[in-house]
Chain A
C-alpha cells in the first residue's frame, strides 16, 4: 500500500459525459501528479500540482482539467468524454515539487470506461 488513495476504482460512463476522479496523496506529500495509461500503453504524464498550484503540464487535453485543494487532495475532471479516453488514470504523490524518478508513490488507479 503506497498510501495514495484514488476513487472511484472503476467508472463506466457514456460519450459526451463528464466525470471527476479523486486522489488523496500520502500524508505529508505536497505534490500530486496525474497520469493516463491506455491499454497496453506506457504512462503518459498529464499534470502536476504542488501545494495547490499547477506546477507542470504534460499531454493534457483541453477537455481535461485538474485542481488541488487546500487539504492537498486533487481532482481530475474529464469532460466531453470520447471512446479514446477509456484508460487507467493514476495519481502519484511526492514530498517535494521536484519529483525525481523514484520519489513518486502511485495510487491504485481509476479505470475509466467510456461507452
Chain B
C-alpha cells in the first residue's frame, strides 16, 4: 500500500534555531517527492521537488534531502523565523501512467516557532 508518513507530528522550536522534519514513504514506483508549506487556513505552497536522481535541493533557508534507497526524505530549516510557523507536507507521486489518485499526501508536521 502506498503510504507517506511524517514525523514528528508537531514541533516547537525557538526562533533562530534549526530543525529537521522527516518523511518516510512506501510509494512505488517512485516518481518524485515535494515538500509543501501550508499556513493555517491557506492552500499549500510548494517548497521543493525532488526526482529519483536528486539527493539535495535548496530553496533559501529550506534544504530537502532524498535517499531513494531507504525511501526517506528530510526537510531542514535553517535559522528559523516566526513566519516559518506552518504545517509542512510531504507529497510523493508514483511514476508511470499516473493520475491524481497516485499522488500520496503525508499528514504533515505542524511547526511552531516561538520568539
Q: Contacts A42-B107, A55-B100, A58-B101: A109 and B34 contacting too (C-beta < 8 A)? A: no
A24 at interface by CB-CB < 8 Å: no
Q: Are B103 and A42 in contact (CB under 8 A)?
A: no
Q: Mark A78-111, 1 if CB is under 8 A from B, else 0.
A: 0000000000101010000111111011111101
Nearest CB on A from B3, distance (A):
11
A14 at interface by CB-CB < 8 Å: no
B89 at interface by CB-CB < 8 Å: yes
Q: Which residues of A contact B31 (CB under 8 A)?
A: 100-101
Q: Are A101 and B92 in contact (CB under 8 A)?
A: yes
Partner of A101, one of B32, B97, B107: B32
Q: Are B107 and A41 in contact (CB under 8 A)?
A: yes
B contact residues, total (Cβ < 8 Å): 25
B86 at interface by CB-CB < 8 Å: no
Residue of A nearest to B106 (CB): A42
Q: Which residues of A contact B97 (CB under 8 A)?
A: 98
Q: Bound state CA distance, A74 and B100, in angstroms?
A: 16
Of residues 30 through 54 on chain B, the ones whose CB sits less than 8 Å from some CB of chain A are 31-34, 41-46, 49
Q: Which residues of B contact A (CB under 8 A)?
A: 31-34, 41-46, 49, 89, 91-93, 97-101, 103, 105-108
Contacts A42-B89, A98-B98, A101-B34 supplied; 9 other A-B pairs, CB < 8 Å: A45-B100, A45-B105, A58-B101, A90-B44, A99-B100, A101-B32, A101-B91, A102-B46, A104-B103
Can you list 29 contacts pairing A with B, beta carbon distance less than 8 Å?
Answer: A31-B100, A42-B105, A43-B105, A44-B105, A45-B100, A45-B101, A45-B103, A45-B105, A48-B101, A55-B100, A56-B100, A58-B101, A90-B43, A92-B43, A97-B99, A98-B97, A99-B98, A100-B93, A100-B98, A101-B32, A101-B93, A102-B34, A102-B91, A104-B103, A106-B43, A108-B42, A108-B43, A109-B41, A109-B42
Q: Which residues of A contact B (CB under 8 A)?
A: 2, 4, 31, 33, 41-45, 48, 55-58, 88, 90, 92, 97-102, 104-109, 111
